[in-house]
Amino acid sequence: MLHLLYKFKGKRLVKMSNGETKTDVILIGAGIMSATLGTLLKELVPEWEITVFEKLSKAGEESSNEWNNAGTGHAALCELNYTNERPDGSVDISKAIKVNEQFQVSMQFWSHLVNSKLIANPQDFIRQLPHMSLVHGEENVTFLKKRFEALSNNPLFQGMEFSDNTEKLMEWIPLVMQNRTSKEPIAATKIDTGTDVNFGALTNMLFEHLESKDVVMNYNRSVNDIKRTSDGSWKLKVRNSVTGNVEHHTAKFVFIGGGGGSIHLLQKSGIPEGRRIGGFPVSGIFMVCNNPDVVAQHHAKVYGKAKVGAPPMSVPHLDTRFIDNKKTLLFGPFAGFSPRFLKNGSMFDLITSVKPDNLVTMLAAGAKNMSLTKYLIQQVLLSKEKRMEELREFIPNAKSEDWDLIVAGQRVQVIKDTEEGGKGTLQFGTEVVSAVDGSIAALLGASPGASTAVHVMLEVLTKCFPEHINEWEPKIKQMIPSYGLSLMDNPKLLQNIHTSTAETLRLSEKEPVFC
């Protein structure tokens, strides 16, 4: 067995005589995905040795960082892009159901971790917060009402309310409704069981737990190359960015969870499944309110409707956030373009990701997405005052001096050939690419991302460890009672899970007053 090839002392692996270090599992990237996969594996097979490599000096600093993402517990409660209107006028809620069920899996796993005392103080990473959708114009109001009727009849969305009454909306969102002079029809839906999730805080909690279980954390380490060895293992060439030293590490299983940087490593692995895949980076900018009096007037996540040509990740929203135990108000995101695949990446990331096998795919994507390119150029050229004008669609009396700009994280949308979309189809979602033998897997894509981390990592386990999944199933069901079941089809189980997770995660407790 692999773990007999080396000795483990404390939290350090002893190197073999040839300078290589061997381990069972290597996780590349110290974000929420690697943290979740590592935690699942330590629960299922605690004897497996796990090593983590992160290019930055600490965990959760890229896409998982609380300032680099929307922090929404993506449960499709407010995101209009998860519900599409069919040609016959009806609303398709199938994607909303899928996303909601996946988020419920995360909630159950987090509750298990709290109940097992593996992590503490759930309010440090999750809080209950109303989720709302807000639209303007007669056509959009009609759509929102039909969406509400379709969702509210489903047990997953029980408790959702709809209103086009300005007095009721004033109760729900006073900051948004104050001084609103437009006579244009306006409507909103609200559901009180939404959440705000600080994925940066959660990521650090999980890695602190993993370190206590002898998982070896290696920071300031960039994985420069990854190759298959003659015995089927994977050999990584790793550079220490502090000392400049090059290290070699080998494992039977490798997970590439390095955000946008995953594409380059997937390409270097040489697996056929990684061919003809490219990535399109989209950056983001949020506006953050620096006036506590304004922040105190809003308590919800309010999502609007994306502009024509905008990517789904650019849906405008006015969000209450809890960061470092402080109530904060953000608006955005405004899309932008940078060739970097990571916020701390290289300006050459995009160009070096173009290979002979994906060149045609990338060119086709460029030709098919000219409207997106035009939109991104327009967004990049926006002045702060132009951004304020968009904010005033949500807050009519917003003052420029109350808001600052912050650069959010990079998102890399997957580009690949599909049967439905043909050559160079831009994918908006989260995708796992794995070798046929399950020895390596990479996570690509963006939203809903972190919110569905547990579901996605269970998918990795199923794809990569099929010989173990039956053995692991009882433990998985202990951690996630709905595993293998549809909550929509089991309303009693759904109600029990809602009640238990809310209690364990302390979501029903009265919020403290923040300043």
Per-residue model confidence as pLDDT tens digits over 188-241 = 999 999 999 999 999 999 999 999 999 999 999 999 999 999 999 999 999 999
What burial class does residue 381 get, using C-beta atoms within 10 Å of its C-beta: 0-12 exposed, 13-18 middle, 19+ buried? exposed
How many domains does the chain fold into? 2
280 and 423 in a common domain: yes
- 23 in any annotated domain: no
Q: Which residue has the higher pLDDT, 290 or 69?
A: 290
The pLDDT assigned to 19 comes to: 66
The pLDDT assigned to 15 comes to: 53
Q: Does residue 363 register a pLDDT over 70?
A: yes
Q: Which residue has the higher pLDDT, 335 or 180?
A: 180
Question: Taking all residues of the chain, what is their mean pLDDT, rounded to a whole number?
Answer: 90
415 and 503 in a common domain: no
pLDDT band per the 50, 70, 90 thresholds, residue 312: low
Q: Which residue has the higher pLDDT, 380 or 32?
A: 32
Say if residues 85 and 150 touch (Cβ distance below 8 Å): no
> What CA–CA distance (Å, rounded) separates 427 from 416?
8
- 18 in any annotated domain: no
pLDDT band per the 50, 70, 90 thresholds, residue 12: very low
- The HSE-up count of residue 139 (CA atoms within 13 Å, CB side) is 3
CA distance from start to end of the chain: 56
Alpha helices in 340-452 (DSSP H): 349-352, 359-368, 370-380, 384-391
Q: Which residues contact 311 (CB under 8 A, 6 or more apart)?
A: 282, 335, 372, 375, 413, 428
Pick the last residue of a domain from 403, 428, 453.
428
Backbone angles phi, psi at 445, to 5 degrees: 100, -170
90 and 185 in a common domain: yes
Structure tokens at 4: 């007999």
192 and 127 in a common domain: yes
- 239 in any annotated domain: no
- The predicted model gives 401-420 an average pLDDT of 91
Instruction: Identify how many contiguous H helices and E strands the chain contains and give both numbers.
Output: 15, 24
> Using alpha carbons only, how large is the chain's radius of gyration in Å?
23
The pLDDT assigned to 286 comes to: 92
The pLDDT assigned to 165 comes to: 96
- 11 in any annotated domain: no
496 and 416 in a common domain: no
- 282 in any annotated domain: yes
298 and 403 in a common domain: yes
The pLDDT assigned to 26 comes to: 98
Per-residue model confidence as pLDDT tens digits over 258-286 = 888 899 999 999 999 999 999 988 888 89
Q: Does residue 335 register a pLDDT over 90?
A: no
Domain of residue 336, residue span: 276-428
491 and 370 in a common domain: no
The pLDDT assigned to 36 comes to: 97
The pLDDT assigned to 7 comes to: 36
The tokens 């639209």 sit on which residue? 135
pLDDT band per the 50, 70, 90 thresholds, residue 419: confident
Per-residue model confidence as pLDDT tens digits over 20-75 = 899 999 999 999 999 999 999 999 999 999 999 999 999 999 989 998 887 777 89
- 269 in any annotated domain: no
Of the ranges 15-24, 130-139, 229-238, 472-481, which one carries the lowest mean pLDDT score?
Answer: 15-24
Q: Does residue 514 register a pLDDT over 60?
A: no
Q: Which residues contact 354 (CB under 8 A, 6 or more apart)?
A: 278, 362
497 and 418 in a common domain: no
The pLDDT assigned to 190 comes to: 98
> What CA–CA distance (Å, rounded) separates 129 from 488?
22
- The predicted model gives 74-81 an average pLDDT of 91
422 and 492 in a common domain: no
Q: Does residue 467 register a pLDDT over 60?
A: yes
pLDDT band per the 50, 70, 90 thresholds, residue 333: confident
377 and 297 in a common domain: yes
Pick the last residue of a domain from 428, 446, 464.
428
pLDDT band per the 50, 70, 90 thresholds, residue 2: very low
Q: Does residue 3 register a pLDDT over 80?
A: no
Q: Which residue has the higher pLDDT, 259 or 356?
A: 356
- 433 in any annotated domain: no
413 and 290 in a common domain: yes
The pLDDT assigned to 9 comes to: 35
Secondary structure class of 483 (helix, strand, coil): coil
- 347 in any annotated domain: yes
289 and 175 in a common domain: no
The pLDDT assigned to 337 comes to: 84
